[in-house]
Amino acid sequence: MTNPTFPVAGTGLAGTPQSTGLSIRHAVMELGDGGTRVTALDDVSLDAAPGEFLAIVGPSGSGKSSLLAVAGALATPDSGTVTVHGQDLSQLNQGRRAAFRLSNIGFVFQSGNLIPALTAADQLRLVNRLAGGPKTFDPIALLESVGMAHRAGNRPGQLSGGERQRVGIARALVTGAKLLLVDEPTAALDRTRSREVVELLARQSHEHGVATVMVTHDHDVLGYCDRVVEMVDGRLVAAAPVA
Amino acid sequence: MFLALRELVFARGRFSLMGGVIALIAVLMVMLSGLSSGLVNDGVSGLKAMPVTAFAFDQGTKTDNAFSRSVIDDQQLSAWRGVEGVAAAEKMGVGMANATTDSGKQVDLTLFGVEPGSFLEPSRSAGTGLGDTDGIVVSSTAKAEGVDLGTVVTLDRIGTKLKVVGFTEGQATFGHVDVAYLPLKTWQLIASGRAAAGIPSAAQLSALSFDTASVVAVQAKPGAKLDLAAGDTAAGTSSKSLSAAFDASPGYEAETMTLSMIQVFLYAICALVVGAFFTVWTIQRKHEIAVLRAIGASTGYLLRDGLAQAAILLVGFTALGVAAGLGLGAAMPDAMPFALEAAPIAVATTLTIGLGLIGAAVAVVRISRIDPLNALGGQR
Ligand SMILES: Nc1ncnc2c1ncn2[C@@H]1O[C@H](COP(=O)(O)OP(=O)(O)OP(=O)(O)O)[C@@H](O)[C@H]1O
Ligand SMILES: [Mg+2]
C-alpha cells in the first residue's frame, strides 16, 4: 500500500500546484495575539493526489489541526497558497468558501461530529439538501457502503463511537467531494474499531479517487496509509516509511 | 426547516417547557385583554353608543369626573350651535343616583338627562321612548338586577319616582353603573334639588327656573371636520372628542393605564423569556452549528432554520394559549367586567408572537458568530 516514490513533505516541492487534489505551498500561519503568538504553520508545503491516503502525525500542539483548517478553507494562512482541485482558496470570499467546502471538501471530525437530533439517514439527507443535491438521493445506499445501513434510523446517541465515525465518513462523501479531511477519527475508539474505521477510509479514497488527509495519534493504523508525514513545531518533516 | 422540525421533536421536553410558558403568557394576555375590554365597556359603553362627535365641558373643569362636575348654560349651547360644521348640539345632564326598585332592590344609576326626540335619545331594544316626565330608558344590563319594563325606581333621599319605559340596545354603562336616560327637564328638576317625593308633575317642571346642564353634546355634519378650538373660544368651554372624553368618566384613565402597564410588562417578559431560552439553546448547539458551518451550510440557511423553529414554537403555543384563554373567558362569572373582543385579542396575539420572535431573533443571530473552526480538534 505504501508508495515510497511519492514526494515526501518538506520544502522541496515544485512551484506549480497540481490541478487535482490538494496543494499547499509555503503556508505560514500565526495564531494568538500580542506576546503569546505561536507559529502554528511554518512554511508548510504539502500535496495530496486523488486516491491518495495521507496521514499526518506529530506531537500535540505541533500544528496538525491548523494544517487541516488551512487545507479545508476554514482558516486562511498569513502567507502561502492553498489550492484544492485547481481552485486557489484565497480567491474566495467567506460565503463562496462555505459553498466550495460543501461541494468539494468532506470533513470527518474527532467527536461531536454528528447532529444529535438527526438519524443516521437524516444526517446524510441534510447535507444533500444543503448542497441542493438530487431529490432522488438515497442515503441508505451510501450508509450501506460504510456498513451502516442497518442503523439508518438511529440517532447518534444510540450509536457506538465507531458507528458514529462510519456515519460521519458517509456524510462527508454525500456530495462526492474529492478531498477528505479527517481529524483524529480514532481518538475515542478501541484498537479493532480504529482499524475498521481507518480501513474504511483507505478503501473509500482508493475506490473513489478521493484525496484523504488524516491527522492521527494512533500509530497502529498507519499501515493503511499510502504516506505518512510528521509535524514538529509547525514544520513538516518526513516520517519513517510505513511498514 | 428540515433541521428545525427534527430538533423540535428531538428536544420536545425542553421545547414543551418553553411552549408552556408561552401558552400561559398567551392565556394571561387574553384574560387581560378581556378584562380591559370589559372595564372599558363598563366604564364608557354609555358614551360609546352615542352619536356624538364631541362633548364640551365648562372651561376649567377638572378632567376626572368632568361629566358630573361641569355646568353649562344656554348661552354656551347656542354658541356651539353657531359653530361651522356642527349638525346638532344639545345640552346633556349627567349625575349619579342611588335608587330602590319597587321590589325593594337597591340599584345604582347614572342619570343621562337628554332632550326627548333629540339625536341624543338612545336607540332601544324594548319599550317606548322618552317623553313622560317620569319615563326612563335603562341600560339593557339592568335586567340582570331585576329591573323590568314598568318597574318603578325611587331615588333615595328625595323620593322622586321614575318608571322604566324602555331598554337601550346593548350595554349602556358609565363609570361601571347602568345608565338611565330621562328627559332633560326631569334631570334638571332632580339636579336643582327642588324635586319633591313622588312622580315629577308637569306643574313642578314648568315652575322650575333651572336651565343649566352638565355638558354640550355636539354632532358634526357628515364628513365635516369640527374646529373644536374655535367652538371653545366662542362658547367658553373646553371640549373633547368622544374617545378623548372617556378619560373624563369616573376612574377610566386609572383603570386603563393600570391594565396597559401590566400588558406592556407581559410583552417584555415574553420577549425576554423567549430570548433567554433561545440563547441557552443556541449555546447548547454551538458545536453542532460549528460542524454544520464547517461542512458548508450557509449562515443564511442556519439563521432561517433557527428562526423558523422559534416561529413554529411561538405560533403553536400562542394559539394553544389563546384557545385556552378564550375557553376560560367564556366561563367567567357575569359579575366580572369581562368582554372577549376579536380586535384586541388579535392585537395581543400578534404582539406576543412578534415580540417573542424579536427575542428569539436576537438570540439566534449568535449562530452567525460561531466559528466553523470550533468543529476541528474535538472539545477545544
Ligand atoms: N485559536 C488559537 N489561538 C491561539 N493559539 C492557538 C489557537 N489554536 C491553536 N493554537 C496554537 O497553535 C498551535 C497549533 O495548534 P494545533 O491545534 O494545530 O495543534 P495540533 O497539532 O492539532 O495539536 P493536537 O494534537 O493537540 O490536536 C498550538 O501551539 C496551539 O496552542
Ligand atoms: Mg488537533
DSSP B129-192: -S-STTEEEE-GGGGGGT--TT-EEEETTT-BEEEEEEEESS--EETTEEEEEEEHHHHHHHHH
What is the arithmetic mean of pLDDT over B300-318?
Answer: 95
The closest residue, in CA terms, to atom 4 on ligand 1 is: A32
Cβ neighbours for B304, distance < 8 A, ≥ 6 positions apart:
none
Nearest chain A Cα distance for residue B356, angstroms: 24
What is the arithmetic mean of pLDDT over A7-15?
Answer: 44
Cβ neighbours for A16, distance < 8 A, ≥ 6 positions apart:
none
d(CA B275, CA B284): 14
Contact A98 B298 (CB under 8 A): yes
B291 contacts on A by Cβ (under 8 Å): 107, 109, 112-115
Q: What is the pLDDT of residues B30-80, one digit of tens each?
A: 999 998 888 888 888 888 888 999 999 998 888 777 888 899 888 899 889
Of all residues in chain A, the one with the smallest CA distance to B294 is: A74
Of A73-82, A100-109, B115-124, B196-205, which gets the smallest average pLDDT? B196-205
d(CA B274, CA B106): 50
What is the arithmetic mean of pLDDT over B244-266?
Answer: 86
Domain ranges in chain B are 2-44+253-375, 60-235
Cα–Cα separations (whole angstroms), residue A209 to A176, A205, B32, B185:
10, 5, 67, 104
Instruction: Give the end-to-end CA distance of chain A in Å, rounded to a whole number.
Output: 9
Q: Is A63 in the pocket of ligand 1 (CB under 6 A)?
A: yes
The closest residue, in CA terms, to atom 3 on ligand 1 is: A32
Q: How confident is the model at residue A3 (pLDDT cuts 50, 70, 90)?
A: very low
The closest residue, in CA terms, to atom 31 on ligand 1 is: A61
Q: Is A60 in the pocket of ligand 1 (CB under 6 A)?
A: yes
B296 pLDDT higher than 90: yes
Which cell numbers hold the place of B197? 317625593
Contact A109 B372 (CB under 8 A): no
ipTM metric: 0.88
Shortest-distance atom of ligand 1 to CA A234: 14
> What is the pLDDT, as a whole number, of residue B169?
87
In chain B, pLDDT over 70 holds for what percent of residues? 99
Q: Is A38 in the pocket of ligand 1 (CB under 6 A)?
A: yes
> What is the pLDDT, as a whole number, of residue A18?
64
Cα–Cα separations (whole angstroms), residue B85 to A41, A241, B55, B79:
85, 103, 15, 13
Nearest by CB to B6, from A110, A118, A184: name it: A118
A239 pLDDT higher than 80: no
> What is the pLDDT, as a whole number, of residue A16?
61
A→B contacts (Cβ < 8 Å), by residue, are 65, 68-69, 72, 74-75, 95, 98-103, 105, 107, 109-118, 122, 125-127, 129-131, 155, 171, 183-184, 187
Of A148-162, B333-347, B349-363, which gets the smallest average pLDDT? B333-347
Of all residues in chain A, the one with the smallest CA distance to B8 is: A117
Which residue from B307, B57, B294 is spatially nearest to A101, judged by alpha carbons?
A: B294
Which cell numbers hold the place of A90? 484565497
Shortest-distance atom of ligand 1 to CA A69: 18
Contact B301 A130 (CB under 8 A): yes
Q: What is the pLDDT of chain B when averaged over all its residues?
A: 89
d(CA B257, CA B260): 5
The closest residue, in CA terms, to atom 28 on ligand 1 is: A61
Q: What is the pLDDT of residues B156-213, one digit of tens each?
A: 888 888 989 889 888 888 988 999 999 998 999 888 887 888 888 888 888 888 888 8
The closest residue, in CA terms, to atom 9 on ligand 1 is: A31
> What is the pLDDT, as a whole number, of residue A133?
87
Residue B229 CB neighbours (<10 A): 10
> What is the pLDDT, as a whole number, of residue A10?
39
Nearest by CB to B294, from A74, A110, A131: name it: A74
Q: How far is CA B283 from the centre of its chain?
A: 43
Q: How confident is the model at residue A77 (pLDDT cuts 50, 70, 90)?
A: very high
Q: What is the pLDDT of residues A142-201, one digit of tens each?
A: 999 889 999 999 999 999 888 999 999 999 999 999 999 999 888 878 888 899 899 999
Any idea what DSSP says for residue B213?
A: B
> What is the pLDDT, as a whole number, of residue A211?
95
d(CA A124, CA B50): 67
Contact B296 A184 (CB under 8 A): no
Q: What is the pLDDT of residues A23-40, one digit of tens each?
A: 999 999 998 887 788 899
Shortest-distance atom of ligand 1 to CA A63: 18
B376 alpha carbon, closest ligand: 2
A11 pLDDT higher than 90: no
Nearest by CB to A74, from B7, B10, B372: name it: B372
What is the arithmetic mean of pLDDT over B308-322?
Answer: 96
DSSP string over B220-277:
EPTTPPP-HHHHHHHHTEEEEEHHHHGGGSTTHHHHHHHHHHHHHHHHHHHHHHHHHH
Of A74-83, A113-122, B163-172, which gets the smallest average pLDDT? B163-172
Q: What is the dihedral of CA A121, A124, A130, A136, to 10 degrees?
A: -70
d(CA A23, CA A46): 6
- Residue B143 near residue B167 (C-beta atoms within 8 A): yes
Q: Is A235 in the pocket of ligand 1 (CB under 6 A)?
A: no
B106 pLDDT higher than 60: yes
- Residue B217 near residue B46 (C-beta atoms within 8 A): no
A129 contacts on B by Cβ (under 8 Å): 2
> What is the pLDDT, as a whole number, of residue A1?
42
Nearest by CB to A101, from B6, B295, B377: name it: B295
pTM, whole model, 2 decimals?
Answer: 0.81
φ and ψ at residue B113, rounded to 5 degrees:
-85, 115
Q: How confident is the model at residue A84 (pLDDT cuts 50, 70, 90)?
A: very high
Cβ neighbours for A99, distance < 8 A, ≥ 6 positions apart:
B296, B298
Domain ranges in chain A are 16-240
Q: How confident is the model at residue A8 (pLDDT cuts 50, 70, 90)?
A: very low
The closest residue, in CA terms, to atom 6 on ligand 1 is: A31
> What is the pLDDT, as a whole number, of residue B362?
95
- Residue B370 near residue B72 (C-beta atoms within 8 A): no
> What is the pLDDT, as a whole number, of residue A112?
55
B380 pLDDT higher than 50: no
Instruction: Give the end-to-end CA distance of chain B in Å, rounded to a whole number.
Output: 29
Residue type, B326: L
Q: Is A61 in the pocket of ligand 1 (CB under 6 A)?
A: yes
The CATH topology of domain A16-240 is: Rossmann fold (3.40.50)
Of A143-147, A201-205, B245-249, which gets the smallest average pLDDT? B245-249
Shortest-distance atom of ligand 1 to CA A64: 21
